[in-house]
Structure 1
Protein backbone atom coordinates (compact mmCIF):
# COMPACT_ATOMS: atom_id res chain seq x y z
CA UNK A 1 0.00 0.00 0.00
CA UNK A 2 1.38 3.41 -0.91
CA UNK A 3 2.34 5.76 1.91
CA UNK A 4 -0.04 8.51 0.72
CA UNK A 5 -2.97 6.10 0.58
CA UNK A 6 -2.13 4.70 4.02
CA UNK A 7 -1.87 8.24 5.42
CA UNK A 8 -5.21 9.10 3.85
CA UNK A 9 -6.83 6.03 5.40
CA UNK A 10 -5.27 6.84 8.78
CA UNK A 11 -6.65 10.37 8.58
CA UNK A 12 -10.09 9.07 7.67
CA UNK A 13 -10.04 6.65 10.55
CA UNK A 14 -8.93 9.26 13.08
CA UNK A 15 -11.60 11.72 11.96
CA UNK A 16 -14.56 9.41 11.40
CA UNK A 17 -14.22 6.20 13.41
CA UNK A 18 -15.84 7.58 16.54
CA UNK A 19 -18.82 9.32 14.83
CA UNK A 20 -19.43 6.22 12.70
CA UNK A 21 -19.28 3.98 15.75
CA UNK A 22 -21.82 6.16 17.61
CA UNK A 23 -24.11 6.25 14.58
CA UNK A 24 -23.97 2.47 14.21
CA UNK A 25 -24.41 2.02 17.96
CA UNK A 26 -27.51 4.22 17.94
CA UNK A 27 -28.89 2.29 14.99
CA UNK A 28 -28.10 -1.21 16.25
CA UNK A 29 -28.26 -0.78 20.01
CA UNK A 30 -25.29 -3.09 20.39
CA UNK A 31 -21.72 -2.06 21.16
CA UNK A 32 -20.33 -5.24 19.62
CA UNK A 33 -22.36 -4.88 16.44
CA UNK A 34 -21.37 -1.22 16.16
CA UNK A 35 -17.69 -2.16 16.51
CA UNK A 36 -18.00 -4.86 13.86
CA UNK A 37 -19.88 -2.60 11.47
CA UNK A 38 -17.39 0.24 11.98
CA UNK A 39 -14.59 -2.15 11.05
CA UNK A 40 -16.56 -3.35 8.06
CA UNK A 41 -17.16 0.25 6.97
CA UNK A 42 -13.43 0.97 6.96
CA UNK A 43 -12.64 -2.29 5.19
CA UNK A 44 -15.06 -1.30 2.44
CA UNK A 45 -13.61 2.21 2.46
CA UNK A 46 -10.11 0.77 2.02
CA UNK A 47 -11.23 -1.20 -1.00
CA UNK A 48 -13.27 1.61 -2.57
CA UNK A 49 -11.19 4.64 -1.64
CA UNK A 50 -9.33 4.77 -4.94
CA UNK A 51 -12.64 4.90 -6.81
CA UNK A 52 -14.21 7.62 -4.70
CA UNK A 53 -13.81 11.31 -5.32
CA UNK A 54 -12.71 13.39 -2.34
CA UNK A 55 -15.81 15.65 -2.55
CA UNK A 56 -17.58 14.62 0.64
CA UNK A 57 -15.95 11.71 2.37
CA UNK A 58 -18.03 12.07 5.55
CA UNK A 59 -21.35 11.56 3.78
CA UNK A 60 -19.87 8.71 1.74
CA UNK A 61 -18.58 6.93 4.87
CA UNK A 62 -21.95 7.28 6.60
CA UNK A 63 -23.59 5.87 3.48
CA UNK A 64 -21.23 2.88 3.56
CA UNK A 65 -21.92 2.46 7.30
CA UNK A 66 -25.69 2.62 6.81
CA UNK A 67 -25.51 0.04 4.04
CA UNK A 68 -23.40 -2.22 6.26
CA UNK A 69 -26.01 -1.82 9.02
CA UNK A 70 -28.88 -2.61 6.65
CA UNK A 71 -27.04 -5.69 5.34
CA UNK A 72 -26.53 -6.94 8.91
CA UNK A 73 -30.15 -6.20 9.81
CA UNK A 74 -31.36 -8.15 6.76
CA UNK A 75 -29.15 -11.11 7.68
CA UNK A 76 -30.66 -11.18 11.15
CA UNK A 77 -34.16 -10.91 9.71
CA UNK A 78 -33.48 -13.94 7.52
CA UNK A 79 -32.34 -15.89 10.55
CA UNK A 80 -35.69 -15.03 12.17
CA UNK A 81 -34.07 -13.34 15.08
CA UNK A 82 -35.49 -10.29 16.77
CA UNK A 83 -34.28 -7.23 14.85
CA UNK A 84 -31.90 -5.13 16.87
CA UNK A 85 -33.07 -1.84 15.34
CA UNK A 86 -35.58 -1.30 18.14
CA UNK A 87 -32.86 -0.82 20.72
CA UNK A 88 -31.74 2.55 19.44
CA UNK A 89 -30.23 4.18 22.50
CA UNK A 90 -28.42 2.71 25.47
CA UNK A 91 -30.34 2.72 28.72
CA UNK A 92 -27.20 2.48 30.81
CA UNK A 93 -25.26 5.53 29.73
CA UNK A 94 -22.74 6.76 32.23
CA UNK A 95 -23.78 9.80 34.17
CA UNK A 96 -21.31 12.63 34.07
CA UNK A 97 -19.53 13.36 37.36
CA UNK A 98 -19.99 17.07 36.65
CA UNK A 99 -23.13 19.07 37.28
CA UNK A 100 -26.11 18.40 39.44
CA UNK A 101 -27.35 14.82 39.78
CA UNK A 102 -30.95 16.01 39.34
CA UNK A 103 -30.11 17.62 36.01
CA UNK A 104 -28.31 14.50 34.88
CA UNK A 105 -31.28 12.35 35.88
CA UNK A 106 -33.69 14.59 33.95
CA UNK A 107 -31.40 14.60 30.90
CA UNK A 108 -31.12 10.83 31.02
CA UNK A 109 -34.90 10.46 31.30
CA UNK A 110 -35.41 12.81 28.35
CA UNK A 111 -32.88 10.89 26.26
CA UNK A 112 -34.61 7.63 27.13
CA UNK A 113 -37.98 9.04 26.10
CA UNK A 114 -36.57 10.25 22.79
CA UNK A 115 -34.87 6.88 22.29
CA UNK A 116 -38.13 5.05 22.96
CA UNK A 117 -39.99 7.28 20.52
CA UNK A 118 -37.32 7.01 17.83
CA UNK A 119 -37.27 3.23 18.15
CA UNK A 120 -40.89 3.29 16.97
CA UNK A 121 -39.97 5.10 13.76
CA UNK A 122 -39.16 3.34 10.49
CA UNK A 123 -35.42 2.96 9.77
CA UNK A 124 -35.29 5.74 7.18
CA UNK A 125 -36.88 8.23 9.60
CA UNK A 126 -34.44 7.20 12.35
CA UNK A 127 -31.48 7.53 9.99
CA UNK A 128 -32.43 10.92 8.63
CA UNK A 129 -33.21 12.33 12.10
CA UNK A 130 -29.97 10.96 13.53
CA UNK A 131 -27.84 12.35 10.70
CA UNK A 132 -29.49 15.78 10.86
CA UNK A 133 -29.95 16.23 14.61
CA UNK A 134 -27.04 14.30 16.12
CA UNK A 135 -24.40 14.45 13.39
CA UNK A 136 -25.44 17.91 12.04
CA UNK A 137 -25.37 16.75 8.44
CA UNK A 138 -26.34 19.34 5.85
CA UNK A 139 -29.16 18.52 3.46
CA UNK A 140 -26.64 17.80 0.70
CA UNK A 141 -24.71 15.41 2.95
CA UNK A 142 -27.93 13.60 3.88
CA UNK A 143 -28.86 13.53 0.21
CA UNK A 144 -25.61 11.75 -0.60
CA UNK A 145 -25.59 9.45 2.44
CA UNK A 146 -29.15 8.21 1.94
CA UNK A 147 -29.33 8.36 -1.88
CA UNK A 148 -32.20 10.84 -1.91
CA UNK A 149 -32.93 13.95 -3.93
CA UNK A 150 -32.92 17.33 -2.16
CA UNK A 151 -36.72 17.40 -2.13
CA UNK A 152 -36.89 13.85 -0.78
CA UNK A 153 -34.54 14.84 2.05
CA UNK A 154 -36.72 17.80 2.98
CA UNK A 155 -39.96 15.83 2.75
CA UNK A 156 -38.63 12.79 4.61
CA UNK A 157 -37.11 14.94 7.35
CA UNK A 158 -40.38 16.83 7.73
CA UNK A 159 -42.37 13.59 7.89
CA UNK A 160 -39.94 12.06 10.37
CA UNK A 161 -40.19 15.07 12.68
CA UNK A 162 -43.96 15.11 12.32
CA UNK A 163 -44.21 11.38 13.11
CA UNK A 164 -41.91 11.78 16.11
CA UNK A 165 -44.05 14.64 17.42
CA UNK A 166 -47.20 12.59 16.82
CA UNK A 167 -45.75 9.67 18.78
CA UNK A 168 -44.75 12.01 21.61
CA UNK A 169 -48.26 13.47 21.68
CA UNK A 170 -49.85 10.01 21.75
CA UNK A 171 -47.55 8.92 24.54
CA UNK A 172 -48.34 12.03 26.55
CA UNK A 173 -52.10 11.49 26.11
CA UNK A 174 -51.84 7.85 27.21
CA UNK A 175 -49.94 8.90 30.28
CA UNK A 176 -52.39 11.67 31.22
CA UNK A 177 -55.71 9.98 30.46
Structure 2
Protein backbone atom coordinates (compact mmCIF):
# COMPACT_ATOMS: atom_id res chain seq x y z
CA UNK A 1 0.00 0.00 0.00
CA UNK A 2 1.29 3.41 -0.98
CA UNK A 3 1.62 5.95 1.81
CA UNK A 4 0.42 9.40 0.77
CA UNK A 5 2.74 12.37 0.75
CA UNK A 6 0.65 14.11 3.40
CA UNK A 7 0.94 11.09 5.73
CA UNK A 8 4.71 11.04 5.26
CA UNK A 9 4.96 14.77 5.98
CA UNK A 10 2.77 14.47 9.09
CA UNK A 11 4.90 11.59 10.38
CA UNK A 12 8.10 13.58 9.70
CA UNK A 13 6.75 16.64 11.49
CA UNK A 14 5.70 14.32 14.33
CA UNK A 15 9.31 13.31 14.88
CA UNK A 16 9.88 10.32 12.57
CA UNK A 17 13.15 11.33 10.86
CA UNK A 18 12.83 8.54 8.26
CA UNK A 19 9.24 9.27 7.28
CA UNK A 20 10.18 11.18 4.12
CA UNK A 21 12.38 8.39 2.72
CA UNK A 22 9.55 6.99 0.51
CA UNK A 23 9.00 10.47 -0.94
CA UNK A 24 12.70 10.95 -1.68
CA UNK A 25 12.72 7.60 -3.47
CA UNK A 26 9.49 8.40 -5.32
CA UNK A 27 10.57 11.83 -6.59
CA UNK A 28 14.34 11.54 -7.02
CA UNK A 29 14.29 10.45 -10.67
CA UNK A 30 11.92 13.11 -12.11
CA UNK A 31 13.47 15.85 -9.97
CA UNK A 32 17.06 14.96 -10.82
CA UNK A 33 16.19 14.58 -14.51
CA UNK A 34 14.63 18.06 -14.56
CA UNK A 35 17.61 19.62 -12.79
CA UNK A 36 20.12 17.85 -15.04
CA UNK A 37 18.37 19.06 -18.19
CA UNK A 38 18.16 22.62 -16.87
CA UNK A 39 21.78 22.86 -15.71
CA UNK A 40 23.59 20.97 -18.49
CA UNK A 41 26.13 19.58 -16.07
CA UNK A 42 26.21 16.71 -13.60
CA UNK A 43 28.23 18.58 -10.94
CA UNK A 44 25.78 21.50 -10.83
CA UNK A 45 22.83 19.10 -10.95
CA UNK A 46 24.12 17.12 -7.96
CA UNK A 47 24.57 20.27 -5.90
CA UNK A 48 21.17 21.69 -6.83
CA UNK A 49 19.48 18.33 -6.22
CA UNK A 50 20.92 18.18 -2.69
CA UNK A 51 20.12 21.83 -2.00
CA UNK A 52 16.54 21.31 -3.24
CA UNK A 53 15.98 18.48 -0.76
CA UNK A 54 17.71 20.42 2.01
CA UNK A 55 15.39 23.38 1.48
CA UNK A 56 12.35 21.12 1.14
CA UNK A 57 13.13 19.40 4.45
CA UNK A 58 13.85 22.70 6.16
CA UNK A 59 10.55 24.18 4.97
CA UNK A 60 8.31 21.10 4.81
CA UNK A 61 6.13 22.59 7.55
CA UNK A 62 5.21 25.35 5.05
CA UNK A 63 4.10 22.92 2.32
CA UNK A 64 0.50 23.76 1.39
CA UNK A 65 0.31 22.68 -2.22
CA UNK A 66 -1.54 19.68 -3.54
CA UNK A 67 1.44 18.34 -5.47
CA UNK A 68 4.75 17.80 -3.67
CA UNK A 69 6.70 17.21 -6.90
CA UNK A 70 5.57 20.58 -8.28
CA UNK A 71 6.78 22.18 -5.05
CA UNK A 72 10.17 20.48 -5.49
CA UNK A 73 10.28 21.69 -9.10
CA UNK A 74 9.62 25.25 -7.90
CA UNK A 75 12.46 25.06 -5.36
CA UNK A 76 14.82 23.60 -7.99
CA UNK A 77 13.72 26.23 -10.54
CA UNK A 78 14.63 29.03 -8.14
CA UNK A 79 18.01 27.45 -7.37
CA UNK A 80 18.81 27.02 -11.08
CA UNK A 81 17.90 30.66 -11.76
CA UNK A 82 19.99 31.87 -8.81
CA UNK A 83 23.00 29.82 -9.94
CA UNK A 84 22.66 31.08 -13.52
CA UNK A 85 22.62 34.68 -12.31
CA UNK A 86 25.71 34.12 -10.17
CA UNK A 87 27.57 32.34 -12.97
CA UNK A 88 26.68 34.99 -15.53
CA UNK A 89 28.47 37.61 -13.44
CA UNK A 90 31.64 35.53 -13.26
CA UNK A 91 32.09 34.64 -16.93
CA UNK A 92 34.84 36.38 -18.85
CA UNK A 93 35.25 36.37 -22.63
CA UNK A 94 39.04 36.47 -22.23
CA UNK A 95 40.67 33.07 -22.53
CA UNK A 96 43.13 33.61 -19.70
CA UNK A 97 40.87 35.24 -17.12
CA UNK A 98 40.09 32.11 -15.11
CA UNK A 99 42.07 32.27 -11.93
CA UNK A 100 41.92 32.17 -8.19
CA UNK A 101 39.64 35.22 -8.14
CA UNK A 102 36.53 33.05 -8.78
CA UNK A 103 36.09 34.15 -12.38
CA UNK A 104 35.99 31.65 -15.20
CA UNK A 105 36.35 31.85 -18.94
CA UNK A 106 33.60 31.44 -21.48
CA UNK A 107 35.37 28.30 -22.64
CA UNK A 108 34.80 26.78 -19.20
CA UNK A 109 31.04 27.06 -19.74
CA UNK A 110 30.86 25.58 -23.22
CA UNK A 111 29.76 21.98 -23.62
CA UNK A 112 32.59 19.54 -24.23
CA UNK A 113 32.62 17.82 -27.61
CA UNK A 114 32.19 14.08 -27.84
CA UNK A 115 29.67 11.55 -26.70
CA UNK A 116 26.79 12.99 -24.72
CA UNK A 117 25.21 11.19 -21.76
CA UNK A 118 22.17 10.45 -23.96
CA UNK A 119 24.34 8.77 -26.60
CA UNK A 120 26.33 6.88 -24.01
CA UNK A 121 23.36 5.54 -22.03
CA UNK A 122 20.69 5.43 -24.71
CA UNK A 123 22.95 4.39 -27.52
CA UNK A 124 21.07 6.37 -30.14
CA UNK A 125 21.93 9.35 -32.24
CA UNK A 126 18.30 10.45 -32.17
CA UNK A 127 18.44 10.99 -28.41
CA UNK A 128 21.51 13.14 -28.88
CA UNK A 129 19.85 15.08 -31.69
CA UNK A 130 16.75 15.75 -29.60
CA UNK A 131 18.93 16.87 -26.69
CA UNK A 132 20.80 19.26 -29.00
CA UNK A 133 17.53 20.63 -30.35
CA UNK A 134 16.14 21.20 -26.85
CA UNK A 135 19.34 23.03 -25.87
CA UNK A 136 18.64 25.63 -28.59
CA UNK A 137 15.40 26.72 -26.93
CA UNK A 138 15.27 29.89 -24.87
CA UNK A 139 15.53 29.22 -21.10
CA UNK A 140 11.81 29.91 -20.62
CA UNK A 141 10.76 27.67 -23.53
CA UNK A 142 13.15 24.93 -22.43
CA UNK A 143 11.78 25.00 -18.90
CA UNK A 144 8.15 24.82 -20.07
CA UNK A 145 9.03 21.94 -22.41
CA UNK A 146 10.97 20.02 -19.74
CA UNK A 147 8.38 20.48 -17.00
CA UNK A 148 5.51 19.49 -19.28
CA UNK A 149 7.14 16.61 -21.16
CA UNK A 150 9.30 15.08 -18.43
CA UNK A 151 7.62 16.27 -15.25
CA UNK A 152 4.01 16.11 -16.49
CA UNK A 153 3.39 19.43 -14.72
CA UNK A 154 0.19 21.25 -15.68
CA UNK A 155 0.42 24.46 -17.71
CA UNK A 156 -1.34 26.29 -14.89
CA UNK A 157 1.38 25.22 -12.44
CA UNK A 158 4.16 26.05 -14.92
CA UNK A 159 2.66 29.51 -15.44
CA UNK A 160 2.64 30.04 -11.68
CA UNK A 161 6.22 28.79 -11.42
CA UNK A 162 7.40 31.12 -14.20
CA UNK A 163 5.28 34.00 -12.87
CA UNK A 164 3.51 34.56 -16.18
CA UNK A 165 0.01 34.12 -17.59
CA UNK A 166 -1.14 30.71 -18.72
CA UNK A 167 -1.41 32.12 -22.27
CA UNK A 168 2.27 33.12 -22.16
CA UNK A 169 3.12 29.65 -20.89
CA UNK A 170 1.12 28.00 -23.68
CA UNK A 171 2.75 30.28 -26.26
CA UNK A 172 6.20 29.33 -24.97
CA UNK A 173 5.33 25.66 -25.39
CA UNK A 174 3.95 26.29 -28.87
CA UNK A 175 7.12 28.16 -29.92
CA UNK A 176 9.28 25.42 -28.38
CA UNK A 177 7.44 22.68 -30.27
CA UNK A 178 7.55 24.66 -33.50
CA UNK A 179 11.29 25.18 -33.21
CA UNK A 180 11.90 21.53 -32.31
CA UNK A 181 9.71 20.41 -35.22
CA UNK A 182 11.74 22.57 -37.58
CA UNK A 183 15.12 21.43 -36.26
CA UNK A 184 14.15 17.75 -36.16
CA UNK A 185 12.31 17.73 -39.52
CA UNK A 186 14.81 15.36 -41.20
CA UNK A 187 14.71 12.89 -38.30
CA UNK A 188 10.90 12.94 -38.31
CA UNK A 189 10.76 12.27 -42.05
CA UNK A 190 13.26 9.40 -41.70
CA UNK A 191 11.16 7.89 -38.92
CA UNK A 192 7.99 8.22 -41.01
CA UNK A 193 9.70 6.46 -43.95
CA UNK A 194 10.93 3.66 -41.72
CA UNK A 195 7.44 3.09 -40.35
CA UNK A 196 5.73 2.96 -43.77
TM-score, with length taken from structure 1: 0.75
Aligned to 1:91: 116
Aligned to 2:162: 146
What is the CA-CA distance between 1:147 and the residue it aligns to?
A: 3.1
Contact 2:48–2:76 (CA under 8 A) maintained in structure 1? yes
Contact 1:29–1:85 (CA under 8 A) maintained in structure 2? no
Bigger helix share = 1
State the distance in 2 between where 1:45 and 1:72 align. Answer: 18
State the distance in 2 between where 1:171 and 1:86 align. Answer: 23
Superposed counterparts of 1:27-38, under 5 Å: 27-38=38-49
Aligned to 2:72: 61
Question: Does residue 135 of the first structure (1) align with residue 143 of the second (2)?
Answer: no
Root-mean-square deviation over aligned CA pairs? 2.9
SS at match of 2:47: helix
Contact 2:48–2:80 (CA under 8 A) maintained in structure 1? yes
State the distance in 2 between where 1:136 and 1:25 align. Answer: 16
What is the CA-CA distance between 1:136 and the residue it aligns to?
A: 2.2
Structure 1 unaligned segments of length 5 or more: list them. Answer: 97-103, 173-177
Count matched residues: 159
What is the CA-CA distance between 1:144 and the residue it aligns to?
A: 3.6
SS at match of 1:18: helix
State the distance in 2 between where 1:138 and 1:84 align. Answer: 32
Worse-matched range after superposition: 17-26 or 145-154: 145-154
Aligned to 1:99: none
State the distance in 1 between where 2:144 and 2:159 align. Answer: 10
Between structure 1 and structure 2, the one with the greater Rg is: 2
Structure 2 unaligned segments of length 5 or more: list them. Answer: 1-9, 92-103, 189-196
Aligned to 1:164: 180
Contact 1:28–1:84 (CA under 8 A) maintained in structure 2? no
Higher relative contact order (CA 8 A, sep 6+): 1
Worse-matched range after superposition: 46-55 or 144-153: 144-153
TM-score, with length taken from structure 2: 0.68
